[in-house]
Amino acid sequence: MPAFSQRIAASLIHRRQQGLARQLTPIVQGNTTDLHHQGSDYVNFSSNDYLGLASDKNLSKAWQTGIDRYGNGSGASPMVTGFSYAHRDLEDKLCQWLGYSRAVLYSSGFAANQAMLFGLLEKNDLLLQDRLNHASLIEAGMLSPATMKRFRHNDAQHLAHLLSDNTLVVTEGVFSMDGDTAPLIDIAQAIEGKGWLAVDDAHGIGVLGRQGRGSCDAAGVKPQLLVVTFGKAFGLSGAAIMCDQETGDYLSQFARHHVYSTAMPPSQAHAVAAAIEMIASQQWRRDKLDELYYCYDKALGGLQGYVHTQTPIKPFIVGQSDQTVSLANSLKDAGLWLTAIRPPTVPQGQARLRITLTANHTPQQIAKLATALQSRVEG
């Protein structure tokens, strides 16, 4: 008798008993900041659509143009017949914008991260990861044949201590649950000559750096491998690994998530290319975020749980999971949609509201959030 049913039931019961069960909630998304659920309206402080492009009408038009030009799906994996001029154009735009000679496209950031680590690592390699790296990176590292060690969060000295020859060091540019930025200059200096650096800039691309080129551009560091994702500031989905010519050739031959997976729809590749143009030319979106950070710091700065960041990700630390869920639910009564982030996504005792700002928010919405939080945290 297979043990699957028993195991599934036991895991679900355990998760519910811990108060950590999550729920899929269908919502209707307005302009990023408006969210509708079961007849009520909310201000959404939980999306990764940092620049407000997910609902941008010009970007929708670009996607429609892509459909008119290239049809619906790609119909095959890239090496078969799934690769089109739209994909080639997107690769070229990414390379030009970010200063790399190759871009290898994937359907998601999760796939890109797994492809990168599974594709590159062998048995005698050392993989060093920031201990707060995303699940896609940590999981791939654990399953890869390399030896994986985690260095203390943002601690380049600890990293230097662990380094040996043939090391791949992986960090996020902006940490997804904390909103802080990696010390990329120190990390790059520590690695110099000993290994390669890979930066997953899912949350920095579009938001930081000149014309939104991301965390590495902001730090003046060029890692050997840069993962950029299109599901956050780009308002779409998909991802690319940026690298040199030879590594790109290698990944497109050997990285299984590229070789054995249907290519993203060409219309989507066309839309991502349009998003790059908007991100690079519409500085006002980043300027708007800067204004909102100022409003946020001023309004929430004194509250217990507040954490200062220079990115759109603003963790508000509560501590215990049940308290965090109650706080998020109670904020819904005030028309504010926030998601409680609990272990195992964050360490035990550090459950939080992951507040995110987008260029579509208004100072009034932040003031409303501050008042609601203050009355609940202090009242």
Q: Quick check: is 172 catalytic?
A: yes
Contact between 136 and ligand PLP by CB under 6 A: the answer reads yes
Contact between 110 and ligand PLP by CB under 6 A: the answer reads yes
Contact between 200 and ligand PLP by CB under 6 A: the answer reads yes
Distance CA 280, CA 268 (A): 18
- Return the residue of 52, 78, 109, 315 that touches ligand PLP, per CB under 6 A: 109
Q: Cβ closer to ligand PLP: 56 or 178? A: 178
In angstroms, give the least distance from the CB of 346 to ligand PLP: 13
**Rg, the chain, Cα only:** 21
Q: Cβ closer to ligand PLP: 203 or 361? A: 203
What's the burial of 325, exposed, middle or buried (CB within 10 Å: 0-12/13-18/19+)? middle
Selected catalytic residue, list 44, 46, 47, 48: 48
In angstroms, give the least distance from the CB of 116 to ligand PLP: 11
- Return the residue of 126, 197, 236, 239 that touches ligand PLP, per CB under 6 A: 239
145-153 long-range contacts, Cβ below 8 Å, gap at least 24?
145/121, 146/121, 146/122
26-34 long-range contacts, Cβ below 8 Å, gap at least 24?
27/337, 29/54, 29/55, 30/55, 31/55, 31/360, 32/358, 32/360, 33/358, 33/360, 33/361, 33/362, 33/365
- Return the residue of 56, 172, 180, 217 that touches ligand PLP, per CB under 6 A: 172
CA-to-CA dists, residue 110 to 115, 165, 249, 373, angstroms = 9, 27, 20, 33
- Return the residue of 87, 93, 102, 134 that touches ligand PLP, per CB under 6 A: 134
DSSP state of 211: G
Selected catalytic residue, list 87, 232, 314, 361: 232
Contacting residues toward ligand PLP, per CB under 6 A: 108-110, 113, 134, 136, 172, 176, 200, 202-203, 229, 231, 237, 239
Please give the positions annotated as active site: 48, 134, 172, 176, 200, 203, 232
